[in-house]
Amino acid sequence: MLNAKNRIAAIEQELLQLTPEEHYFGEYYNTYAQAPRNEVKGLSSQKILSLWLEYEQYAQQENKLGLLQKISILFRFNRSALKVFLQAPELVIPYLQRQFYVVRRQELTDERAQLEKKLEQYAFDEKMAELTEKSLRLFRAELSKKFHWQKPRQRFEMRDFRAKSKEFNHEYPVILSTTYSIKGTLNFEHIYDYLIVDEASQVDLATGVLAFASAKNIVIVGDLQQLPNVLDSQNTQKSEEIWKRYSLPESYHFSAHSLLSSAISAWPEAPMVLLREHYRCHPKIINFCNQKFYGGKLIVMTEDHEEPDVLTMYRTAPGNHARDHLNQRQIDVIRLEVLPRLAKQGYESIGIITPYRDQVAAIQTQLGKELEVATVHKFQGREKDAIILTSVDNIITKFVDDPRMLNVAVSRAVKSLTVVTSQDPQNDRTNYGDLARYIEYNNCAVIESTVYSVFDLLYQGYAEQRRSFLKKHKRVSEYDSENLLYAVIQEILQKAEFSFVDCAAHVSLVNLVKDYSILTEEETTYARNPLTHVDFLLFRRMDKSPLLAIEVDGVAFHAAGSLQASRDEKKNRIFERCGMPLLRLRTDGSGEKERIEQALLAAVSNNR
């Protein structure tokens, strides 16, 4: 039943991502004047993706279906699917894309309803209460065997903590302390069975290791995506002096590692458990952190009831508003616009988070001490119904843009997140820029550009079907050259500076070009053909906006004067008119990794 609960949460998460994608795709599909003559019925979403892939293969070969092929399609799909092979690609492929969204939404809705009915009949909440109550009974029964309630408890004095440590720990088996003092709480020689270190990302390596010396077994709890321990300049200087003096493994680099990161590095084989279920934030709030920092691994257990204004961003008017670590204009926005709106919505539990102490002091002075205002570091481990995040900087600095700081700040908000930031275009290339794109995208704001959004759920699903279709491990194409380049791209995207970028393979131009008025009639016909692909598309994960298209050019196939060469020229002109960079890599060239990185950096720099 817990699995059913988790599955419902996963369904809600997928529906949350599906909704804006379906909205944007609907805008694109409405540009088509007519639908296919025959509709496809009775197929699952995965079958529709398979049919789409098979139809593409058929359309590219430009051959008629043989009898055996027809029988195969009939058995694997159905009669309505067979009829689509008699129609034009520019009608069939967009139609199949639309059907995917319609059918997938219905599948998810039906599965959710079935699970909810199952849970309703099971009386889940009552069973959880029963489980909790019985567990507590068992626990108390075990305690009663060890601590006889009718007998007087042994009493201790302060000196007994060290003089009678074993007896004290037997009578009081759970000791709470800090990593700084656990070694000296009882006798220095006393050894605990287990030491549990919580918030280990904030524990420095030296005190953590000293704490380890007091136990036989250790359990380390923490999150690398949250804030690490803060070192002052004196400690940093001393640790670097020691580091240079002795040849120590990187795992024990004091100023570079927290206790958590050091342990993960030193003991890569130690068992690790990810606490996936998230119970605090509204799904739209935590899904930003989930996509941006946790690779989509979290299971969001909260529910979206289509509440208004869950995510809001205020951009101050252009200008130099920040002075050192204080931004008066952002404070004015909070006072005049943000707080009245939150008060109207009925939020009483409101917190204001900022990177700098100067901004904290100014807000408290101007807006009153009753408001809870603190730096990100002070707010870690806490929460409020509504959080206001003020970035302060005109041009967001490396310190403010720390992904761990942003992760902590965003995830403090339970029901509402308001971000107040500056309008400088350079901020678009920061983590705050990704947050802005995420907010706009999930509020279904339309980005006025000459290229269309990529719908990652659809294309990632299509990529999975393609891999299955090709029956080769981690292959996205029947061409080895494309598979080799895809591996290189995936390696590049593992770098921290490209954490906001994703890759889709074999994307149709018809899903990229939005404004056909800038193309010639010949270019429009070519771009409108769903079989006209770009080999790889790199795009921003938060709002699916394209950054860089990559083509792999086989030397013989793309030889000068060939039909494919003329198509390449046509595609080049289309991308140039749309203002979107296209990188071509010949299979007889070299330095592909460096060229992709340079082109992607340039695209990110120019894309605002």
- 442-451 pLDDT per residue, tens: 764 322 323 3
What's the whole-number mean pLDDT along residues 178-190?
90
**HSE, side-chain direction, 13 A CA sphere, residue 360:** 14
Q: Quote the pLDDT of residue 246.
A: 87
Q: Quote the pLDDT of residue 463.
A: 55
The string of pLDDT tens digits covering residues 359-416 is: 999 999 888 877 889 998 888 878 999 999 999 988 888 899 888 999 999 999 999 9
C-alpha closest to that of 356 among 293, 416, 418, 402: 402
Confidence grade of residue 457 (pLDDT, cut at 50, 70, 90)? very low
Amino acid in the structure at residue 255: S
Instruction: Using the predicted structure, report yes or no on whether residue 479 has a pLDDT greater than 90.
Output: no
The string of pLDDT tens digits covering residues 550-581 is: 998 876 666 777 778 888 898 999 998 888 89
The string of pLDDT tens digits covering residues 234-245 is: 888 888 888 888
Q: Can you tell me whether residue 605 is helix, strand or coil?
A: helix
Q: Quote the pLDDT of residue 549.
A: 92
How many other CB atoms are there within 10 angstroms of residue 34's CB atom?
A: 8
- What percent of the chain is predicted at pLDDT more than 70? 90
How far apart, in whole angstroms, are the C-alpha atoms of residue 18 and residue 415?
21
How far apart, in whole angstroms, are the C-alpha atoms of residue 501 and residue 437?
13
What's the whole-number mean pLDDT along residues 451-468?
47
